[in-house]
Every structure is written in C-alpha cells, then in structure tokens.
Amino acid sequence: MRKFWIAGALGVAVVSGSVAQAQIGERWRERRAERMEQKAVQGRIPGAQTIAYGKDPLQVLDLWLPKTAKGKAPLVLYVHGGGWKRGSKDSATGRAKPVHYPEQGYAFASINYRLVPAATVEQQAADVASALATLLARADALGIDRTRVVLMGHSAGAHLVALVGTDERYLRGAGLSFADVDGVIPNDGAAYDVPAQMREAGRFMADTYVQAFGTDPVRQRALSPTLQAAAPNAPQFLLLHVQRSDGVKQAEGLAAVLRKAGTGVEVASFPGEGLKGHAEINRKLGEADYPATGVVDRWLKGVFGR
C-alpha cells in the first residue's frame, strides 16, 4: 500500500494512500468552493458605502440601503465564512444579497472581521457586535431602524452570529444587549457545539478547529452556541442547512437547546450535499428562484412585522 507524508498544523503523519487521497480531495474541493464564491462576485457591487467600525484595517463594513424607503429601513447584517481564518465581505456575499435585500426594503450590511490566527474567535464575535453597534449609533443619519435588526452569517460566520445571539457578553461589550437584536439566521454553520464538532472532525478539518478553538475544553464550551443557549438568547432563530451530515446534526442540536430555553426557532433544510451545497446556499441566497430565498423572506417579514 502506498503511503504519503502529510504535513499540517498538528504535525507530520504517515497515512495510507487512500486516506491521503481523501484528504487531498477534500482540500481541493474546499478550495474549489472558495473559488466559486469569489467568481460569483465580479468586481464591487454598486451602491455600497464603506464604514470603519474599528482601527484595524479589517474592521470595516459595506452598507447598501434601499433606493426607495418608506421610513427607516430594518437592518440585515451579514457575516462571511472562511473557517475563521479567511474570507471577506467582498467575495462571500454573492451578487444577489446586496441587491435583493435592499429591494425588499432592508438595509444590508456585510462586514469584514479580524481573522485567526492574528485574532481570536472571541475577538471575531466582538467585531460582529462592534460593527452592529457602529451602525446603530449612526442609525438616524443612515436611515436605519435600530429597533429592527437581524444578524445573518454563513459557515464560520453562522457560528459567530449564533454565538453573539446566545452569549450576551459580546453585545454587552459593545454597549448593546439581546434587546437590540430581533433575530439570527445561521446559514449552514459548523461548530455550534465545538467539542462535538472536534470529536467528529476528520484529520483534514481538525487543523482548522484546533487553530480556531484551541485544546482547552473550557474555552471550547464557552465558544459553543449550543452550550450557551440556555435562556436568555436573541428572541428568534432561523437555522438553514443543506445535506452535510455534520451540519445537519449541529443545526438540530442547537435548535433543540434553543427550544428548551423558550427561544423561537425554525429549521429549514435544503438540497445540496457536501462543500458544493455548502457554497451554493450562500452564493444563491437572494436569487428569486433559489428555495431558501423565499423561506428567509417570509421569516424576515414575520420578524420585522412587515
């Protein structure tokens, strides 16, 4: 049997040819999914204003406002994915969201945040809260309704918005509270339960999780939305997922704990397998003929009372 040397953050190991090929294939598929997302955005989407919410170059956001609005616009704040270590507001929104949500009468903001390993996941969650606080502080000037706010994130961004929506210390650190958030949409996320995710991760993803969450069980639990979801929480959650076994399990686990806490939660499942489906539900959300778009639109109307 052929053997390969695989180098990674956890060291160097000798693995069988079949295992190594599977790991290489998985890494290739992940890179391909990233390229697909980047290709979906050809240049800057018109109409955005860029706002800094901190001193770091990555602490910036883009904001799109409705062209016509009857009164102040509810806010949808979006947090990109990328394994906590990469990604950006420019490549991860897809072309549809910054057009679709303003057409629905909403302000749509897409944020950058500091990345691992230069920053911690705790700092990333704090960045989400700080970006929101900056927009709400300028709500009157921007035409935003600060009383109607939803956080949305994909992949690692789904984990971050779920964490901010279940552990109030991040909002409190920015001068906010759960009263400032009406709902949270985690889209096909991972690591809602960090210890469980890390136990079940293959060698390929283990490096990513260790880099993000470390090896301290106490810290891993503190960074797990599912393990922080005893009341209080943000009042409403919409959990989206495609057919990835770990993503399904993580979403169902978070939903169960939220329901037990008395938090409103819906779970919506969509076709699409593996990394291809994972990329697609982010890239296509906001397209009129993509099934998740109508589900999210209905849910937002209910939460915002429109």
Q: Going by DSSP bridges, is the β-strand pair 183-187/107-111 parallel, antiparallel, or unpaired? A: unpaired
What is the pLDDT, as a whole number, of residue 10?
A: 26
What is the pLDDT, as a whole number, of residue 26?
A: 45
What is the pLDDT, as a whole number, of residue 14?
A: 34
What is the pLDDT, as a whole number, of residue 211?
A: 97
* Among 217, 211, 186, 187, residue whose Cα is nearest residue 199: 217
Q: Which residue bears the tokens 């470390």? A: 214
What is the pLDDT, as a whole number, of residue 43?
A: 52
Sorted by where each begins, the domain ranges of the chain are 47-304
Q: What is the DSSP string of 216-229?
A: -HHHHHHT-HHHH-
Q: Going by DSSP bridges, is the β-strand pair 264-273/236-243 parallel, antiparallel, or unpaired? A: parallel
Q: How many CA atoms does the CB half-sphere of 20 hold within 13 Å?
A: 14
DSSP code for 272: E
What is the pLDDT, as a whole number, of residue 138?
A: 98
What is the pLDDT, as a whole number, of residue 151?
A: 99
Cis peptide before 271 (omega within 30 of 0): no
Give mean pLDDT in consecutive 10-residue pieces for the chain, a chain of 306 residues: 32 37 45 48 72 98 90 96 95 88 97 98 98 98 98 98 98 98 98 96 87 98 98 98 95 98 98 93 96 98 92
Q: CATH top-level class for 47-304?
A: alpha beta
